[in-house]
Structure 1
Amino acid sequence: MVESAKDAMQTLLDRQKAAFVAARPEPLSVRHDRLERLAALAKDNAEALARAMSEDFGHRSHEQSLMTDIMPSIGLIRHSQKTMKAWSRPEKRKVNFPLGLLGARAEVRFEPKGVVGIVSPWNFPVGLTLSPLAQVFAAGNRALIKPSEFTERTSELMAELFAKYFAVEEASVVLGGAQAGADFCGLAFDHLIFTGATSVGRHVMRAAADNLVPVTLELGGKSPTILGRSADIKRSAERIALGKMMNAGQICLAPDYMLVPEDMQGQAIDAVQAGVAAMYPTLLANDDYTSVVNRRHRDRLEGLVADARDKGAEAIVVNPGNENFAGSNGNKLPLTILTGVTEDMKVMQEEIFGPVLPVMSYRSIDQAIDYVNAHDRPLGLYYFGEDAAERERVLTHTISGGVTVNDVIFHITADELPFGGVGASGMGSYHGIEGFRSFSHTRSVYTQPKINVAALGGLRPPYGKATQRTLKMQMK
């Protein structure tokens, strides 16, 4: 009888769970070795992985792939190797008076959960597989990985490489389409991390709920970019242009829309256009500029622009080389800046995930803050300006997964900062000690002294004077 794909996944999970239990307790040296092999997988195959990603995208900047997928993965692997001993160290905790005087002890141990499922996305198919896996391994777990079917060649290559560098009981890649993904999320993992769209995240959470699997959801959202009046417009616009054009805007943390002072809107738009032109004098044949991943996604982005135009928005196409994108047989798109946008436009309702940048104006910073707060909490928030009081007003009156001040996206590059969303942009985080603890079981251990505490404190029947003394002392 041929084993179904779903049954094959279950078999892999069972093998990993059995191996995890049999190997306990594993020394930190085993975790270190797994991380070392993971780093070798990334380093030894960096060029091949970058080529595979470019093939999947139609074209993807080679240097960008190395900088956004390979380099940060190795960085987090090395950081995890250096810090996991300290992260793993049990923490002593206080016990209630007077138990400590009598010899009672309490501690928290950070123990591996078991097998973690990793569902990784297509936009950074290698980086958003290896980075969470680094902390999954650092915490002492095994992993099953379901990469995206939209980057098929990269997923197939990762499956080949993981089979070469790891035993299936340590880490294994599962391939397949939407049904395989749904079946994967329905497995009884000890933890599940999903990176992708908010709409899909809801289905993932429902599937995990059937087995009470704890989840980390790294979703997206419309990350606002607020230019304060004190911002250096040229410098700010250059940085916004870099963040928006990187990976052709296909980044969960990409600046989704700009909020600018009303009387500075024209200047800001001109500066963004200049920033794009300086980086990309041409786009179609430019190896530095990445393609939209497929025709379906390109059609969706063009539909967002068409919907906005039909409803009254003005579209400014940033095409420095005056190239003919309509005649291209690829999926590259220039940046389109939209002004005059309104709430009924799809571009202001959906995460854009591409080279489209709506611009809204505001008269007071509180108006900008109110707009952000009237919508789902974003994954990232960006503030540009030198006015410290205004900056703090923005930060203390808004909520987002993370913040970068005077740039965009960069908070994800700090390995010690937790990366995650809030509300519709996700739950849980990884990176830093918070990531290690996301994939660890926080286990309480209380050690009772030899003295009979329950009898001494009147905590057991028959209740009497000792009970009354304890109640009187503890209920002050």
Structure 2
Amino acid sequence: MTDTQQNNYQADDQIIEQTRHHMANETSQSLSIATTIDEMHAQFSHLYKLSRDQPINDWATRAEQLDNLELMLSERQDSLAQAISADFGYRSESETQFAELFPSFTGISHARKYGKKWMKPRRASISALYMPAHNEIQPQPLGVVGIMVPWNYPLFLAVGPIIDALTAGNRVMVKMSEAAPKFAQSFAEAVARYFSQDMVCVVLGEVDIAQEFSKLPFDHLLYTGSTAVGKKVMAAAAPNLTPVTLELGGKSPVIVLNGANLESAVNRVMMGKTLNAGQTCIAPDYVLVQRKEHEAFIRLAKEWMDKHYPNIADNPDYSRIINNQQFKRVKGYLDQLPGEDVHLLTDAEPNIDTRLMPPIIVSEPNDDSEVMQNEIFAPVLPLVHYDTLEDAIDYVNARPRPLALYVFGDDQNEIEQVRSHTVSGGLCINEVILHVVQHDLPFGGVGHSGTGAYHGQAGFERLSHMKPIFVQNKLNGMNLLLPPYGGFFKKAMGIMLK
């Protein structure tokens, strides 16, 4: 940034601060109005121009935005959690703290600790043939990043990408999910109070706005949601050659190895399947277990529910299905199955009036049943039998590559067999879900479960241009290789081409 640009930026800061105070006095009602297409295009044009005129190349500005984000979450965490709960009909505040607020705060802390280091130019190795020149890689902001947020974890799946985008020096536009309107409104109001619209702005609206949002010529577009919609987002981005990161879903399997501690496996699988009532893209979708363990698995699951979610219909720790449409979809899956294959793990029945979907195990469903064809996204857990580990691996590999794969057991040879003979977005050994909150691990899918990865340094690099730079030394021999090509050139080529 030149001195003139820096002075202009500081002058703009005064205007930005005045605007922020003005927006802080606006009513939340004004923010609940959907963004129009014209307004959205104007917001994008404003951010795009700023990204070209005033690229954010200094760490101080980036760190300030992370501080603003942390302050926003700290001061608004209660109201944001209440808005999420209102959208779900009820969601445990403890779950929001554990699964959304905590990883958001630790993500900010991680970025603030390492971001300054990540943005520095770094040396790259160079062949001895080109010395004494040297190579560098210089991370640069892409410009304007678009983020499309799903409804199931609307806070963490907005804040996580925002952290990476801001750390990389980008400006951000966020399209909130229309399926979680109360949270969308609350989040938009919070962003307007804590950020200048020169840095972060929120877009509200229905599917038509989302469709237009995905057509904007962002420098990068990150979408989290279903595979079906992900295909549409990629198609909409293609005419602009907008690079995309797609965090999708699919069916994340569990393999319980022969001889595994079944009680421990059930404990972790049920935790992952009941969190947010199973509405998690990396929730265990089905379990591959040996036939001899089938009845014990169901018994242990019932005991686990009695211990962790007693009186589930009134239990304040258990969440609801987001809306009637999703509830009816899952209930439809169950209604197609033989009654003797459906095992309730509690005394409660599915209740559309309260959108309570209690955990249910399904025994050995047919492969062509909807519960096995579609991502369940609810606390319904199919048990699928296998005879040999090779059979289990073949079963996983015959299907689209999952976003997550979970394996339980102590036999290191068999664990290694699963590691080396399967491909998945992520892998957990004797655990579920927790890989998503490891800021030193990239998170993303592969194939139908997504493209690209982010979180931590991987997210910083995903949302940066990692510019290669070749620096020639004043003393070099390149002139010796210029035409007319004589004897020296031929000798040199003869050596290098051997």
Establish whether TM, by shorter chain, passes 0.5: yes
Deviation of 1:160 (Å): 0.7
Moved more, 12-21 or 42-51: 12-21
Matched residue type, 1:126: L
Contact 1:242/1:276 (<8 A) preserved: no
Cα separation, 1, equivalents of 2:497 and 2:407? 49
Q: Aligned partners of 1:389, 1:324: CA distance in 2, in Å? A: 42
8 Å contact kept, 2:344–2:361:
yes
Q: 1:396 — aligned with what? A: 420
Give distance in 1, aligned partners of 2:127 and 2:257: 50
Across the aligned residues of Structure 1 and Structure 2, the Cα RMSD in angstroms comes to 1.6
Whole-Å separation in 1 of the counterparts to 2:128 and 2:312: 69
Following TM superposition, by how much is the alpha carbon of 1:452 offset from its aligned partner in structure 2, in angstroms?
6.7
Does residue 15 in structure 1 map to residue 50 in structure 2? no
Q: What corresponds to 1:74 in structure 2?
A: 105
SS in 2 for 1:149: coil
Q: Which residue of 2 aligns with 1:465?
A: 487
- Report deviation, 1:431: 1.3
Matches for 1:72-471 after TM superposition, within 5 Å = 72-101=103-132, 104-309=133-338, 314-319=341-346, 322-323=347-348, 325-326=350-351, 329-451=353-475, 453-458=477-482, 461-471=483-493
What is aligned with 2:22? none
- Matches of 2:102 and 2:135 in 1, distance apart? 41
Residues 403 and 4 of structure 1: is their aligned pair in 2 closer, same or farther, counting only changes over 3 Å? Answer: closer
Amino acid at match of 1:100: M
Contact 1:240 1:272 in 2 (8 A): no
Rounded to whole Å, the distance in 2 between the matches of 1:98 and 1:253 is 48
CA displacement 1:374-393 (0-9 Å, x = unmatched): 00000011111111111111
- Which of the numbers 10, 19, 32 marks the counterpart of 2:63? 32
Query: Which letter does structure 2 place at the counterpart of 1:208?
Result: A
Counterparts of 1:287 and 1:417, CA distance in 2: 32
Q: Which deviates more, 259-268 or 121-130?
A: 259-268
Give me the whole-angstrom Cα distance separating, in 1, the residues matched to 2:428 and 2:68: 33
Change in 2 beyond 3 A, CA 1:195/1:470: same
* Counterparts of 2:171 and 2:52, CA distance in 1: 11
Deviations 1:176-211 (A, max 9, x none): 011100100000000010000011000011011110
User: Which range moves more in the overlay, 389-398 or 87-96?
Assistant: 87-96
**Which sits farther off after the overlay, 287-296 or 424-433?**
424-433
Aligned to 1:5: 36
Distance change (3 Å), C-alpha of 1:324 and 1:230:
closer
How far does the alpha carbon of each residue in 1:286-329 deviate from its partner, in whole angstroms, 9 at most, with x for none?
111000000000000001111233xx87100122xx34544x62
SS at match of 1:284: helix
| 5+ long unaligned stretches in structure 1 | none
CA distance in 1 between counterparts of 2:308 and 2:393 reads 31
Task: Name the amino acid aligned to 2:61.
Answer: V
SS in 2 for 1:308: coil
Cα shift at 1:340: 2.4
Cα-to-partner distance string for 1:1-59 (whole Å, 9 max, x where unaligned): xx992222121111112222222353101111100100111111000000000000000
TM-fit CA distance, 1:266? 0.9
Moved over 6 A (4+): none
Find the residue that maps to 1:305 and give its secondary structure: helix
Q: Structure 1, residues 326-349: CA drift from partner, whole Å, max 9, x if none?
A: 4x6210111111112111101111
Q: Distance in 2 between matches of 1:453 and 1:210?
A: 44
Deviations 1:250-293 (A, max 9, x none): 00000000111111111112111211221111122211100000
SS of structure 2 residue aligned to 1:42: helix
Maintained 8 Å contact 2:57/2:140: no
2:26 maps to what in 1?
Answer: none
Report the residue type matching 2:170 in the other structure: N
How far residue 172 of structure 1 moved from its aligned partner, in angstroms, is 0.3
Greater shift, 9-18 or 137-146, is seen at 9-18
Aligned partners of 2:55 and 2:141 also within 8 Å: no
- Structure 1 window deviating more from structure 2 (442-451 vs 220-229): it is 442-451
CA contact (8 A) 2:35 2:205 kept: no
- Equivalent residue for 2:31? none
Displacement of 1:453: 4.4
CA distance in 2, matches of 1:469, 1:432: 49
| Distance in structure 1 (CA, Å) of the matches to 2:491 and 2:135 | 24
What is the alpha-carbon distance in structure 2 between the residues aligned to residue 97 and residue 187 of structure 1?
45
